[in-house]
Structure 1
């Protein structure tokens, strides 16, 4: 009669692995989950700043373009590349910022050219300079723009910020295109030449057109005067993006005292405007660059007056407000930019780390206990199968097969590695193996006595 063979019980395949193996399989999945959560937070909540950004500036020979180039030099010291994109001026700069298909991050934009809806979709990092409107005219005694009715007035080339602002100011004084006033589409030196040659009665100069040299040349021409905006304060109330500024006596030429008396002017400001997606760390760098470029005293400004957080047309960003209020954070003052950025981003992770790590620390011991005890419980499962087989055995072959399986279970315990804290469970298991072995012996004696 063939010997009966029992199916060998399924025992833990890792019974000979050490404590480190258990810890790895207990803590490893939690560490992996934590790493994935950390990566997700870094990617979604606080991504690293890009190393290259683009600014829309102005024409290559303009002050806006030169300003952007100076920004680029400052940012380069911190490992950031600022690509300067030439443009026709503030109008095109604004259009690029509003167009999602154009890869532009920020731009220099003159006040007075954006609608309210356009302004609210962008953010300002502060005003960086004045761009006054200076009106030169033939004759004397001009104090109101309404007095230009019916004359030839150069208001700037089509699409320029000078033209847009000039038309708004003239419209406020009842002068509109298509009326009796001839609005000439010229600016700068061309407009000044028309004024001197009596091809124009008045010219609006602004920005690069209103240079110190050109203003001196015009004021030295007999019969040409500069308009004093006596109603400058009224203009600033009607147009919130305008400021009232002054040309003190002699500021253009002290020796000849030009101008001979204070000239009141109105001026929008150039703002450093960005898309709302600009990284906060780059916002700080750009304002720092603006402070270095625009912080000196000039013809129209005091030292330290620019950049300024005073809101004109575009809302000041929260990051810019924080910077103007308290300056750079301690990390950015004490560390190089990229190292400070890494440390700053790490601090952002503290909250999610606390949320994840503390429950995980409480869960690890419980998972470890479950893993160790689960191996012991699988031995009990195999032992229970042997005991049930003893209750139904009907021959010596079956008893012998059960004893072989019992020996296999006991031998595997010799290589089982458990922490000392679970040694009592191991010895209790050995006692239970002895108990089952004794039941097999008792059952065998009963069978022989019965026979």
Structure 2
């Protein structure tokens, strides 16, 4: 009878290497998964604010361009470069925002110039100042635009926001191009000159063309009057982008009390319009800059009236609404912009990491135990098969073959790397191997 002397297991002090290897192979898939999720979050959310944005402003020497340059200075304090583009006015600004090839992020846009453009993909950061409509005419007693029918009216140059707005208001009063009313493509000083010289019967001025200086000059010309919008409230109901404002007596010239009486005007507001992908931190900076630039009292507004989150044609962005309610976040309120940006990005990344890591930390021990014990348990299948064969009263040759299989199992166990914490399961398996061997030996006796 062949006697087998079991060899002792050769741990050889490698239990620490086994632990490290098992831990590495257990943690690696989870770590790869977490890294992929973080990468996906960075790619989709893009939490880093851009260092450069582009604003479409207005014509040279316009109030739009002057305001944009003020924004440029304020954003530069926080390390953000604002590229300011000159334009023909609100209509071109809106077209640039809607054209993805233009790469314009924000623009100053006067209300009432959408003119059928699909602006639903844009959002507003709030209104920042009034752009009043002032109608001057020859004669006196006119209080309705409908009374200008049949006359020569300067309505603004082709393609300008003033013209779009003027045509909409005239159309609401039954005055449309192609009828007996002559609509002249002139605005600003040119329109005022035509009115004074008698080449126009009325001039619709808007925004930069309705400056304090120009209004004073026209009101001092004999025979020139300014229209009092007695139906201002109706206009604000019919055109949601319009507000009613008043010029109180003496506001243009207090010494000479110009105007003599309160003049009711209607006015669209100029809004900061942006694409929906504008970063929240940049949105906060722009609104903060707007408070500094437009928050002072003026000819047409009270202190603190602008910027305003009142919705007109464009929805107020969620980030803007949050800013108007609570101001800047804690990080941006107490840290420099670049440092707050890093902290904000870190918080954005920590959320998905925490959501993934907490379940993973509970899963890892179970995976580790399964991996280590599977090395032991996979030998039990072979051991059970050998025992079943031993119970069938095999021949001597078959018994010798089964003993060789047991030897192979035991050899594999002797070379098995096993953490010391699981040595009990290891030795239980060796006992079972010895038990099956004894049955083979007893059957052979």
Is the shorter-chain TM-score for this pair beyond 0.5, marking a shared fold? yes
> What residue is the counterpart of 2:224 in the other structure?
224
Contact 1:294–1:307 under 8 Å retained in 2: yes
- Of 136-145 and 334-343, deviating more is 334-343
Q: CA deviation at 1:406?
A: 7.3
Cα distance in 1 between the residues matched to 2:388 and 2:48 = 64
CA distance change for structure 1 residues 403 and 383 in 2, over 3 Å: closer, same or farther? closer
Aligned with 2:118: secondary structure? helix
Cα distance in 2 between the residues matched to 1:131 and 1:141 = 24
> What residue is the counterpart of 1:322 in the other structure?
322
Aligned with 1:200: secondary structure? coil
- Of 351-360 and 184-193, deviating more is 351-360
1:133-172 paired onto structure 2 within 5 Å: 133-172=133-172
The gaps in structure 2 that reach 5 residues or longer are 1-9
> What residue is the counterpart of 2:96 in the other structure?
96
Contact 2:96–2:102 under 8 Å retained in 1: yes
Contact 2:406–2:433 under 8 Å retained in 1: no
> What residue is the counterpart of 1:419 in the other structure?
420
Cα distance in 1 between the residues matched to 2:79 and 2:396 = 82
Instruction: Render the CA deviation track for 1:159-205: whole Å, top value 9, x for unaligned.
Output: 11111111222222222222222221111111122222222222111
Cα distance in 2 between the residues matched to 1:336 and 1:224 = 55
Contact 1:15–1:375 under 8 Å retained in 2: no
The gaps in structure 1 that reach 5 residues or longer are 1-10, 447-451
> What residue is the counterpart of 2:274 in the other structure?
274
Count of residue correspondences: 431
Contact 1:46–1:348 under 8 Å retained in 2: no
CA distance change for structure 1 residues 221 and 392 in 2, over 3 Å: closer, same or farther? farther
Cα distance in 1 between the residues matched to 2:164 and 2:405 = 100
TM-score between the two structures when normalised by the length of structure 1? 0.84
Contact 1:107–1:272 under 8 Å retained in 2: yes
> What residue is the counterpart of 2:3 in the other structure?
none
Aligned with 1:254: secondary structure? coil
Cα distance in 2 between the residues matched to 1:238 and 1:409 = 89
TM-score between the two structures when normalised by the length of structure 2? 0.85
- Of 426-435 and 152-161, deviating more is 426-435
> What residue is the counterpart of 2:4 in the other structure?
none
CA distance change for structure 1 residues 430 and 238 in 2, over 3 Å: closer, same or farther? closer
Q: CA deviation at 1:380?
A: 5.8
Cα distance in 2 between the residues matched to 1:220 and 1:163 = 26
> What residue is the counterpart of 2:340 in the other structure?
340
Q: CA deviation at 1:155?
A: 1.1
Contact 2:399–2:440 under 8 Å retained in 1: no
- Of 108-117 and 232-241, deviating more is 108-117
Q: CA deviation at 1:70?
A: 1.6
Aligned with 1:55: secondary structure? strand
- Of 354-363 and 121-130, deviating more is 354-363
Contact 1:132–1:268 under 8 Å retained in 2: yes
Contact 1:386–1:406 under 8 Å retained in 2: no
1:71-110 paired onto structure 2 within 5 Å: 71-110=71-110
> What residue is the counterpart of 2:208 in the other structure?
208
CA distance change for structure 1 residues 403 and 425 in 2, over 3 Å: closer, same or farther? closer
Cα distance in 1 between the residues matched to 2:96 and 2:59 = 15
Contact 1:295–1:304 under 8 Å retained in 2: yes
Cα distance in 2 between the residues matched to 1:304 and 1:141 = 36
1:7-26 paired onto structure 2 within 5 Å: 17-26=17-26
> What residue is the counterpart of 1:190 in the other structure?
190
Cα distance in 1 between the residues matched to 2:312 and 2:402 = 97
Contact 2:410–2:433 under 8 Å retained in 1: no
Cα distance in 1 between the residues matched to 2:252 and 2:148 = 26
CA distance change for structure 1 residues 103 and 252 in 2, over 3 Å: closer, same or farther? same
Cα distance in 2 between the residues matched to 1:335 and 1:182 = 59
- Of 229-238 and 202-211, deviating more is 229-238
1:47-58 paired onto structure 2 within 5 Å: 47-58=47-58
Q: CA deviation at 1:88?
A: 0.9
CA distance change for structure 1 residues 388 and 221 in 2, over 3 Å: closer, same or farther? same
Contact 1:111–1:271 under 8 Å retained in 2: yes
- Correspondence 1:285 to 2:285: yes
